[in-house]
Structure 1
Amino acid sequence: MSSREVDLPKAMGLVQGAGTIGMVLAPALQLGIMKIGYPGIPFLFGTRLNLYTVPVFISISLAIIGTFLIIFCFDGKMRIRRKDIALENVSNEKFEEKELLEVTTKEKICYDKLAVAMCMFTQVVMGLVIIILTTVMPPHSMMVFEWTSEQAVLWSSIGTLMVGFCIITTIGSYVCCRLGQRVASRDGIIFGLIVILIFFTTTYPWSFYGKSIPYKHPRGVDSSNFTITDLNLSDNSLDLVGCPLEYKWCETTPPIHYLLFRRIFNAVGIIIQIVAPIGLSKVYAQTGVIYIWQFIVAVILTCGILWLIFYKRMISYKTRKERFDKESSIN
């Protein structure tokens, strides 16, 4: 809020850096917590400390600390230093002329509603992307790669740790190298959409990947030699991996290469996050990832094409005003 427009990328980088540090520390902490194992160590009120509950207790503690700091140590007021003006040396005519000029300029220059709509649509697209990555990816990755719960936590932590380092590198380039002044924001957004599009097109279950997702079977046992009858007669204590039997689409859905399967971006779509997980879960249970991937690729393509079409209009209000003043001076 208090930063100048020229320093806005740097300010945003510093603000987002805190969340990114948490993204890096959390997986590292999770990897250490995995040594506790399951069911874990007895704790208060009948609970246990294990790889699933310790992160919850830490989150609750941090939330309490954050709430305390906001209530007692933060007032939310913006303080801007203003230079004193010697009013006795300035005539009223200059004030009236300046005020009239500012009112006239504001009346002629309004914000670009199309650009605002484009930004909102892009935010919705990013919200859909993060919902798919957080709702569909975890269970699907466990089925595709035949992970146990512990392995899923391990690889998810490693993937999140790598993403966190990538984000820190990007933020550092904005804060230290002033990347925001060298690369236009609209170019960065278009580049990000292209990367996300490449991710979803390469992780789509194409038919040439071959084979199919194996159904549930004991870990370490060849799924091709394990039948549904064997599963029904198996001991319930077995650690089963693979696709649930009720997902019929696993018979025709090929797996995805692991290196292409990690998430790339972390974004926020608050409105979408309320409704989308329920709908995506139902679609995933019925059809798998095929239609979800087709939908998100179509949405990303639409968003990217719109950015290219309206590229010249996706500028800040300050740039828009400077162009208007320049055109007015020429005329």
Structure 2
Amino acid sequence: MESDTQPIVQGKTVWSSIYIAAALSFVGAVQFSLYFSALWPYMRILDADITETFYGWTVFVYSFGQVLSAPGFGWWSNKVKMVRPPLYCGLFLMFFGNFIYILMEIISGVPKRFVLMLCRFIIGMGSGNVATLRSYASTASSLEDRSKAIAYVTCGQAIGMTMGPAFQFIFTQLKYPGPAPFGLSLNLYTTPAYLACLMNVLGAVALYRYFEEVYAIDLIDDDEEDDEKEAPPSIPMYDIIAVLVCYASRFTDMFVRTNLETLGSPYSMMMFSLDEVHSVRYLSLAQGIVGALTFSTYIAYINFDMEKIVPLRPSCLIALGLMLIFHLITYPWSFLGNYVLPLNGTTGCDASRFSWCAELTQVNVYIYYGSYVLLIGTAFPLLTITLTTLFSKILGPRRQGTQQGLFQAASAIGRMIAPVSASALYTGYGPRAVWQMEIAVVGVVLAAWFLFYRKMVEMKIPRRIENNCFGVSTKHKSLDEHLHRLLAVSLKRLTSPKAQFKSKRVPFITPYHD
């Protein structure tokens, strides 16, 4: 266990802490998708006044809370020079939000839909600590281990987003309202909140007992004077167009993902005339299989050199193409023979509310879920890992905090816009309008990739500048070799007539600058 004192600096990666960071990333991400298949039917039971549009706003506030809290967590971490305090705070907020969700059925005097919105907002604020985990992985890993370390944390986040419904599928065997120990129901709708609370407690225990806040480089604070350290040689400017295409691709990834998860339950109940229990069960099973495919994809990229088999650029194109094919296959084309069934209880299409019910054709249930598992289950993890890796290489060997923050912001914006726009279109014009919107978004991004394909490459840096940027060559493995190399570099700089050293320390690795 690492004490809450100033973090230790050493020149190697402490993998145990990277593993804890990946696990905490999983805990934060799983709480975004853990409720998706159960939220809608549960709220229909507790609050009959909830609408699809309000449900979209409920999903929106999760991402809004994350956008508000993530910069604050980052500033806090930089101020105290530790990541542990903001991580504790994030875990507490997620625990508190889930606990309110458990109490929601016994809270009186306030419409339940507003209580649900408050829960999701608090949980979203807590999950903002995921950005702190990515920042830690970037600075706690040595240069040769950095890509692998970031892959672990990204893998934890991606698997958490897709495995949430798998946990929900396990709980579908429970009945509603179920037993009520201490006056609180234990059923297929509330059990995910109990699991989330347990995960947050276990995450806090792991953070306290097993997490060592150790860094692989000697970090320079932002408030240090620029003239206190030797300015490193400048490196080429990254290609702005390539970076913008990456932002758009990240936005599209989260935009499509969130739309499918948000509308999954009401869409299946309307399109396939499934009741609440079967809707939750089938959707959870499909997304659970997607989670297994996601896990397999990340294992392959962590253990094998997949870039040599399928390079990064073609992989991104394949993933975006699979998204487009999925929407074309599952689109309710007018030439399909069957039409959706009219409302019968809580299943079917309510023609009294939706004018588009009479003309909506029915998509085959097996084609929908089969293509969802195969196409979406391949596209999402493939795009996440290859786009993140390519984006880092496009930026080159520099501090990437600002650009990575904007990259994450593009994801959050997609997550915020998706549920609101999709819910509004779904209510007013039906699923055809939602599918048309997603086909247009994916199509525009694919067109940008083909148009600027030659720009989507790793930054090329002259060897002389690359060596000077790192200061200490990473090919020297032993401690003695590192010390000899560091001494030689220091003496050379001290004897140089242009050297101006006012700093009281020499960084283990000269930091990059934007």
TM-score with structure 1 length normalisation?
0.75
Q: Is the 8 A contact 1:9 1:175 kept in 2?
A: no
Instruction: Please list the CA deviations of residues 24-77 of structure 1 after superposition, one character each: whole Å capped at 9, or x if unmatched.
Output: 765554344223211101123x21000000011111221233245446754655
Equivalence for 1:249: 356
Q: Distance in 2 between matches of 1:197 and 1:28?
A: 25
Distance verdict in 2 for CA 1:3–1:284, change over 3 Å: same
> Of residues 277, 291, 310 in structure 1, which corresponds to 2:419?
277
Please state if 1:184 is matched with 2:290. no
Q: Which amino acid aligns with 1:35?
A: Q
Instruction: Please list the CA deviations of residues 238-280 of structure 1 after superposition, one character each: whole Å capped at 9, or x if unmatched.
Output: x542112311211111111223324413768212322432232
For 1:36, what is the secondary structure of its paired residue?
Answer: coil
> Of residues 130, 133, 146 in structure 1, which corresponds to 2:257?
130
Q: Distance in 1 between matches of 2:199 and 2:426?
A: 34
Deviation at 1:3, TM superposition (A): 5.2
Equivalence for 1:40: 178
Deviation at 1:16, TM superposition (A): 3.8
Q: Is the 8 A contact 2:141 2:215 kept in 1?
A: no
Equivalence for 1:231: none
Q: Is the 8 A contact 1:144 1:213 kept in 2?
A: yes
Q: Distance in 2 between matches of 1:321 and 1:118?
A: 21
For 1:122, what is the secondary structure of its paired residue?
Answer: helix
Q: Which amino acid aligns with 2:431?
A: V
Q: Which amino acid aligns with 2:316?
A: I
Q: Distance in 2 between matches of 1:9 and 1:145?
A: 43
> Of residues 156, 162, 169 in structure 2, which corresponds to 1:18?
156
Distance verdict in 2 for CA 1:37–1:249, change over 3 Å: same
Deviation at 1:183, TM superposition (A): 2.5
Equivalence for 1:220: none
Q: Distance in 1 between matches of 2:157 and 2:216?
A: 24
Q: Distance in 2 between matches of 1:9 and 1:162?
A: 27
Q: Which amino acid aligns with 1:321?
A: I
Distance verdict in 2 for CA 1:155–1:8, change over 3 Å: farther
Q: Is the 8 A contact 2:142 2:217 kept in 1?
A: no
Distance verdict in 2 for CA 1:256–1:76, change over 3 Å: farther
> Of residues 405, 419, 430 in structure 2, which corresponds to 1:288?
430
Distance verdict in 2 for CA 1:283–1:301, change over 3 Å: same
Q: Which amino acid aligns with 1:305?
A: A
Q: Distance in 2 between matches of 1:6 and 1:182?
A: 21
Q: Which amino acid aligns with 2:425?
A: V
Task: Kindly report which structure 2 residues correspond to 1:314-325, keeping only aligned pairs within 5 A, or say none.
Answer: 314-317=456-459, 320-322=460-462
Distance verdict in 2 for CA 1:170–1:5, change over 3 Å: farther
For 1:208, what is the secondary structure of its paired residue?
Answer: coil
> Of residues 167, 174, 198 in structure 2, which corresponds to 1:61?
198
Q: Is the 8 A contact 1:10 1:174 kept in 2?
A: no
Number of residues paired by the alignment?
282
Q: Which amino acid aligns with 2:269?
A: M
Please state if 1:214 is matched with 2:320. no
Distance verdict in 2 for CA 1:283–1:143, change over 3 Å: same
Deviation at 1:119, TM superposition (A): 0.8
Equivalence for 1:78: 215
Deviation at 1:290, TM superposition (A): 1.5
Q: Distance in 2 between matches of 1:64 and 1:29?
A: 17
Structure label with greater radius of gyration: 1
Instruction: Please list the CA deviations of residues 180-233 of structure 1 after superposition, one character each: whole Å capped at 9, or x if unmatched.
Output: 34322221111100000000111111111122211211xxxxxxxxxxxxxxxx
Equivalence for 1:159: 286
Q: Which amino acid aligns with 2:339?
A: S
Q: Which amino acid aligns with 1:165?
A: A
Equivalence for 1:204: 331
Deviates more, 1:151-160 or 1:267-276: 267-276
Q: Distance in 2 between matches of 1:301 and 1:171?
A: 26
Deviation at 1:152, TM superposition (A): 1.0
How much is the aligned-residue C-alpha RMSD, in angstroms? 3.1
Equivalence for 2:445: 303
Q: Distance in 1 between matches of 2:198 and 2:209?
A: 17
Deviates more, 1:21-30 or 1:155-164: 21-30
Q: Distance in 1 between matches of 2:455 and 2:145?
A: 21
Distance verdict in 2 for CA 1:3–1:119, change over 3 Å: farther
Q: Distance in 2 between matches of 1:5 and 1:123?
A: 25
Q: Which amino acid aligns with 2:197?
A: I
Q: Distance in 2 between matches of 1:310 and 1:323?
A: 26
Q: Distance in 2 between matches of 1:117 and 1:20?
A: 22
Please state if 1:142 is matched with 2:269. yes
TM-score with structure 2 length normalisation?
0.50
- Structure with more relative contact order (C-alpha pairs < 8 Å, separation 6 or more): 1
Q: Is the 8 A contact 2:252 2:414 kept in 1?
A: no
For 1:116, what is the secondary structure of its paired residue?
Answer: helix
Q: Distance in 2 between matches of 1:71 and 1:117?
A: 39
Instruction: Please list the CA deviations of residues 156-201 of structure 1 after superposition, one character each: whole Å capped at 9, or x if unmatched.
Output: 1210121012112211221222203432222111110000000011
| Percent identity between the two aligned chains | 28
For 1:209, what is the secondary structure of its paired residue?
Answer: coil
Deviation at 1:297, TM superposition (A): 0.9
Equivalence for 2:187: 50
Q: Which amino acid aligns with 1:159?
A: A
The unaligned stretches of length 5 or more in structure 2 are: 1-137, 219-229, 385-407, 466-514
Q: Distance in 1 between matches of 2:144 and 2:335?
A: 49
